[in-house]
Structure 1
Amino acid sequence: MSGWSEAGTQPDEDEHQRFNRYLQQLEDVCREDEAELVRVILRDPDEVMAQSAVARHLDRRSRQLLTDPGFDDWFHAMATEVAEHEFLVRRLHDWMLLRSIAVNAPWRPEDVLAASDWFQRTAVQILTSPAALRLLASDGRTRRVRTAADRRLAEQRR
């Protein structure tokens, strides 16, 4: 273990300094220590800041692992650590749905349409599935999503 100190650590650090330190630690952490580091960060007294740092990490790591066979194991390890944080649980589930679409695993259109605005915007940016993009182009929640999905479909046809 890299010797991460418990949340609230250095008395002279404000939440901005801790946030930046957490982001750096999360970027540098090895897979074996990742879950423990997430657990330590989520004990920080500034819950909003800690969850924000972990959410950024989940987004970055999910993008890296999206089509990797190790995604499922990583997902379950992270789900255990964030289980008591509703926002982080929802974000992880959004990534699992994105993964299902990206690797051509079964997914349900109603799940895509019920997903968060963040999910729909992210799906349009990273997915190549014509079925998912057509669904978002026709029934996405916002005009922004529908337009972006339609644009992605047009790019695929070229």
Structure 2
Amino acid sequence: MNHDTPQQEEPDEHLRFWNYLSELEQVAQADEVDLVSGVLTDPVQAMAQSAVLRHLDRQAADLHCGPDYESWAEKMTQATTRYPFLTQRLHEWSLFRAATLRQPWRPDALLDSSNWLQLKTAEASNAAALEILADGGRTKRIRNTARINLKKQSQR
């Protein structure tokens, strides 16, 4: 009697997801918009948008403090314009960038932003943003994180 069970194969969308992540990690800047646009044509939209979101987060984390961020964000916003969640994430990265670099930004935009951005900002930002989140952050975790980091900044 054979007790071996057939190996379960990864569903196609899982393989495509990992392939997309690999391609997005290695894409040349000149080909990035075309690749992002191509990934977003995948019939499994949740998977495709998840792969692109990871790429946007990775790239934005690398670029947000530098001079190349704005042109990159503009290109990516054009490539993702039909995908509200992705364009919102890019908008929030731009808000995070503005707060981090002490550029003009609106407190109400921060208070209206997602939990993701509020927590990211509470973990690493300037005192003005931390004060706003310590008082008006959406969750207790965001408010506490902002208070702790505000206290750390004042002790420096």
What TM-score does the superposition give when structure 2 sets the normalisation length? 0.90
Q: Give the number of the structure whose alpha-carbon radius of gyration is greater.
A: 2
Q: CA RMSD in A?
A: 1.3
**Separation in structure 1 between the aligned mates of residue 154 and residue 101 of structure 2, nearest angstrom:** 21
Map 1:1-158 → 2, pairs under 5 A: 14-127=12-125, 129-158=126-155
Look up the SS of the partner of 2:30 in the other structure.
helix
Structure ranking higher on relative contact order (CA contacts 8 Å, 6+ apart):
1
Cα deviation digits, residues 19-75 of structure 1 (max 9, x gap) = 111111111111111111101100111011000000111111111011110101001
Stretches of structure 2 lacking an aligned partner (at least 5 in a row) = 1-9
Cα deviation digits, residues 76-96 of structure 1 (max 9, x gap) = 100010000011011111111
Size of the alignment, in residue pairs? 146
**Separation in structure 2 between the aligned mates of residue 125 and residue 32 of structure 1, nearest angstrom:** 33
**Separation in structure 2 between the aligned mates of residue 47 and residue 74 of structure 1, nearest angstrom:** 23
Stretches of structure 1 lacking an aligned partner (at least 5 in a row) = 1-11
Structure 2 counterpart of 1:156, which letter? Q
